[in-house]
Amino acid sequence: MNSTRPVAIVTGSSRGLGAATARLLAKSGYQVVINYSKSEADAKAVQASCEALGADTLLCRADVSDDNACRRMVDETIAKWGRLDALVNNAATTKFCIHKNLDGLSKDDFLHIYGTNVVGPYQMIRAAAPYLKQSGKGAIVNVASLAGVTAMGSSVAYCASKAALINMTTSLARVLGPEVRINAICPGFIQGEWLEQGMGKERYEKVKAAIENMVPLRMTATAEMIATTIRYFIEDALLTTGEILLLDAGSRIGSKSF
């Protein structure tokens, strides 16, 4: 079947930012692929909420570090709707490890994090590119991180992986145009269970309060706030490709002017 409505794949969309993005795109008139690797119950809940908003959906279990799984996800999308208009590379992983603990990360930790955070988006883009080009308004949004710019985050490996994703976004913008636009967003602290579970509740609350007391806008982001920018890059940023946008409430510029 060929859908008259645009179609979007959102990787890692069973929870957090991916779930918020899937729901917002469903509300905006998209058919949505909801992707997960482990959390089936959460993914089904997101699927139900998207369908309640009027979207047709496809639930796809796939680990983006597996190239065959990436290709299968795209193939199933095309088989269902006959088109693909947007790809949001949101799936990511990390290992929480303080940077000074040089023995805290192994080679396997780096390879696992890079496999999901860098190789995964590349594989998804490679599989999706022919269909995004056919769309006539294909758009890709890579969810990087402020950690990829400031080198401060959950671990050295995570920061390095997000820096690589930023670099890859710029590189691919040169070759995917004019048919496909590709941009990256770099959120700072995002409220939610991913950081809370990784940091522990007490540290999470301390870090959140410290950031909100320091940054110029005196706030930290919710997943829903970040999702609106993803939709902007897909729907409205028609003159923008290769852009790296920080969503950090102004933290990189500091708390005061002198």
Whether 63 maps to a domain, the answer reads yes
Mean residue pLDDT across the chain? 93
Q: Is residue 258 scored above 60 in pLDDT?
A: no
pLDDT at 252: 81
pLDDT at 149: 94
Could you report the per-residue pLDDT of 67-84, keeping only the tens digit for each?
Answer: 999 999 999 999 999 999
pLDDT at 1: 67
Is 10 within 8 Å of 34 (Cβ atoms)? yes
Could you report the per-residue pLDDT of 171-214, keeping only the tens digit for each?
Answer: 999 999 999 999 999 998 778 777 778 778 888 788 778 877 88
Q: Is residue 154 scored above 70 in pLDDT?
A: yes
Stretch 130-142: mean pLDDT: 96
C-alpha to C-alpha distance for 219 and 225, rounded to whole angstroms: 11
Please give the model's pTM, rounded to 2 decimal places. Answer: 0.94
Stretch 90-96: mean pLDDT: 95
Catalytic residue positions, numbered: 158
CATH number of the domain to which 84 belongs: 3.40.50.720
Could you report the per-residue pLDDT of 96-121, keeping only the tens digit for each?
Answer: 999 999 999 999 999 999 999 999 99
Domain containing residue 132: 7-190+222-249
Report residue 134's pLDDT band, with 50, 70 and 90 as the boundaries: very high
Whether 205 maps to a domain, the answer reads no
The residue ranking higher by pLDDT, 188 or 58, is 58
Whether 195 maps to a domain, the answer reads no
Report residue 167's pLDDT band, with 50, 70 and 90 as the boundaries: very high
Report residue 257's pLDDT band, with 50, 70 and 90 as the boundaries: low
Whether 204 maps to a domain, the answer reads no
Whether 45 maps to a domain, the answer reads yes
pLDDT at 22: 98
Report residue 256's pLDDT band, with 50, 70 and 90 as the boundaries: low
Contacts (Cβ under 8 Å, ≥6 apart) of 128: 9, 74, 84, 87, 140
Whether 1 maps to a domain, the answer reads no
pLDDT at 32: 98
Stretch 21-31: mean pLDDT: 98
Share of the chain above pLDDT 90, in %: 79
Whether 217 maps to a domain, the answer reads no
Whether 255 maps to a domain, the answer reads no
SS (H, E, C) the chain: CCCCCCEEEECCCCCHHHHHHHHHHHHCCCEEEEEECCCHHHHHHHHHHHHHCCCCEEEEECCCCCHHHHHHHHHHHHHHHCCCCEEEECCCCCCCCCCCCHHHCCHHHHHHHHHHHHHHHHHHHHHHHHHHHHHCCEEEEEECCCHHHHCCCCCHHHHHHHHHHHHHHHHHHHHHCCCEEEEEEEECCECCHHHHHHHCHHHHHHHHHHHHHHCCCCCCECHHHHHHHHHHHHHCCCCCCCCEEEECCCHHHCCCCC
Report residue 215's pLDDT band, with 50, 70 and 90 as the boundaries: confident
Could you give the number of structural domains in the chain? 1
